[in-house]
Structure 1
Amino acid sequence: MQQNPLPSSVTGIDSLIHAAGHHRPLAPGATTTNLVPLLDDVRDAMVAIYCDHDAQAAHRIEHARSLLRDQAGASMAAWSLLEEAAFHLRLHHPWSALSALRQAGDALLMARLDGGRA
């Protein structure tokens, strides 16, 4: 088995950037609320945490939470996970915040694939 020569933090950032560029298509005939800005906020918050910019990450999480409040039919799971990410960030637990943000992003993607319903 060959070991990856890149440090784990670089591998994680590379994986994040690669995954952020790929969106699965919507289900045929699905109508959805606009979750793209929410996904952008989640992705940008994750990158900010990786770069040790917690204040910027907190701002992006708060923006995502405000967008989620305004969108009918948006994911309640994503809402609670964004709350969790903000909580962990306030406690200076960046890895726990990243985990919650990853899960929030997944919940938003599922809501997007489900036509905005979650």
Structure 2
Amino acid sequence: MEDDKAALSRKLIDIVSEISAISEYRSTVKKQYTNLARRLKLLTPMFEEIRDSKDPLPEDSIRALASLASALESAKELLRFGSEGSKIYLVGMGMASFSVILGLSNCYPFDL
């Protein structure tokens, strides 16, 4: 259980560090992606606190942190694409992402 907590918190810190390394974004999404990256970096102290804590984490918390790690991986890929990807695909990806966030995934007649 302690090993799970340490490994998971280390993974979360590593993902946020990788997100921090992505610095330049396309001008069309620069403001939004910079804000997202900045806000994700603010999670690092919480992950460090979890790592350094002597108290065991409940199983529910471990599952929630694992889900958060998965979401951070997706955010990292989105931010990497905003830095390196094509502008046309980026617009389509943004539309699809927002539709999923809003629960409107069936509103677009095309697949990305």
Which TM-score band (shorter chain)?
0.3 to 0.5
Q: Which has the larger radius of gyration?
A: 2
TM-score relative to the length of structure 2: 0.41
TM-score relative to the length of structure 1: 0.39
